[in-house]
């Protein structure tokens, strides 16, 4: 079995190759290591290999992990990104314990995060999650409503609107994978042309990060390719 350190290197190589193909600078693409279901030890191992940004989906699991890591290794300076669905009664610990939230899809959630972000911390970095594939089951704001949500979030002083995030349906080949990422990129460009100073396109996971980079991803969120298969039992 390969180590987390080897896997991180392999993913960075993939990012480098995809960037080169796209004529992009690999340093403009940040790797977010998605550590959900893996323990503090795995995060510490990745951090020792130089990884600093970690993504989590489940609030209580994330808070327990952060505490365990702070206790074991107070020297590690990590950035935490919340990337999972948000219940409105769970916004306070997210506002208090994360640097980024990628999964804002409703104004009410944004308002609560804005009110609850502690004064001593910098504004919370926000990406709007967009329902780019359009299935009823998937979360995210509808593309037609993203502009209104962006305006609302941009007016909130304790939030910093950074960009857009999407989780497209799994697709078979590279060209199919590119399509939804292309649509998210077009929406991103449209919001920028309306005056929003966005700099972040959070798109691409283990299976499709190469296609996402071809379409302009600036953050790729990678779990399995770094930590291995998740066990939910």
Ligand X SMILES: *Cc1c(COP(=O)(O)O)cnc(C)c1O
CA-nearest of 8, 79, 71, 86 to 41 is 71
Question: What minimum distance in Å lies between the beta carbon of 26 and ligand X?
Answer: 18
When the beta carbons of 83 and 141 are compared against ligand X, the nearer one is 83
Question: What minimum distance in Å lies between the beta carbon of 86 and ligand X?
Answer: 12
Residues 6+ apart with CB under 8 A from 28: 19, 218
Question: What minimum distance in Å lies between the beta carbon of 227 and ligand X?
Answer: 8
CA-nearest of 55, 142, 149, 138 to 102 is 55
Restricting to residues 161-200, name those near ligand X by CB under 6 A: 167
What sign has the CA pseudo-torsion 55, 60, 65, 71? Answer: positive
How far apart (Å, rounded) are the C-alpha atoms in residues 215 and 211? Answer: 7
Identified binder of ligand X from the candidate list 140, 168, 216, 223, rule CB under 6 A: 223
Identified binder of ligand X from the candidate list 14, 81, 112, 221, rule CB under 6 A: 221
Question: What minimum distance in Å lies between the beta carbon of 204 and ligand X?
Answer: 9
Identified binder of ligand X from the candidate list 8, 15, 33, 34, rule CB under 6 A: 34
Number of residues counted as binding ligand X (CB under 6 A): 13
Local structure of 33: helix, strand or coil: strand
Q: Is 133 in the site for ligand X (CB under 6 A)?
A: no
Residues 6+ apart with CB under 8 A from 45: 3, 4, 5
Identified binder of ligand X from the candidate list 69, 184, 205, 212, rule CB under 6 A: 205
Q: Is 57 in the site for ligand X (CB under 6 A)?
A: yes
CA-nearest of 45, 40, 44, 34 to 2 is 45
Phi, psi of 129 (to 5 degrees): -85, 125
Q: Is 15 in the site for ligand X (CB under 6 A)?
A: no
| CB closest to ligand X, residue no | 223
Residues that bind ligand X (CB under 6 A): 34, 36, 57, 83, 167, 205-207, 221-225
């Amino acid at each position: 079995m390969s180590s987390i350190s080897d896997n991180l290197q392999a993913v960075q190589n993939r990012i480098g190759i995809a960037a080169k193909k796209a004529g992009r600078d690999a340093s403009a693409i940040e790797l977010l290591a998605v550590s959900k279901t893996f323990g503090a030890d795995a995060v510490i191992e990745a951090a020792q290999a130089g990884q600093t940004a970690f993504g989590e989906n489940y609030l209580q699991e994330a808070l327990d992990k952060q505490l365990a890591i702070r206790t074991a290794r107070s020297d590690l300076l990590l950035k935490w990104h919340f990337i999972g669905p948000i219940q409105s009664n769970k916004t306070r610990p997210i506002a208090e314990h994360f640097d980024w939230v990628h999964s804002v899809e409703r104004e009410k959630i944004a308002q609560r995060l804005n009110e609850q972000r502690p004064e001593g911390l910098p504004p919370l970095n926000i990406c709007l999650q967009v329902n780019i594939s359009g299935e009823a089951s998937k979360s995210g704001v509808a593309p037609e409503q993203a502009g209104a949500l962006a305006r609302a979030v941009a007016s909130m002083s304790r939030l910093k609107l950074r960009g857009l995030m999407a989780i497209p349906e799994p697709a078979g080949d590279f060209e199919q994978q590119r399509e939804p990422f292309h649509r998210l990129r077009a929406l991103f460009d449209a919001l920028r042309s309306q005056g929003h100073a966005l700099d972040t396109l959070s798109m691409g996971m283990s299976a499709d990060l190469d296609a996402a980079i071809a379409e302009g991803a600036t953050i790729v969120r990678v779990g399995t390719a770094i930590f291995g298969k998740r066990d939910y039992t």
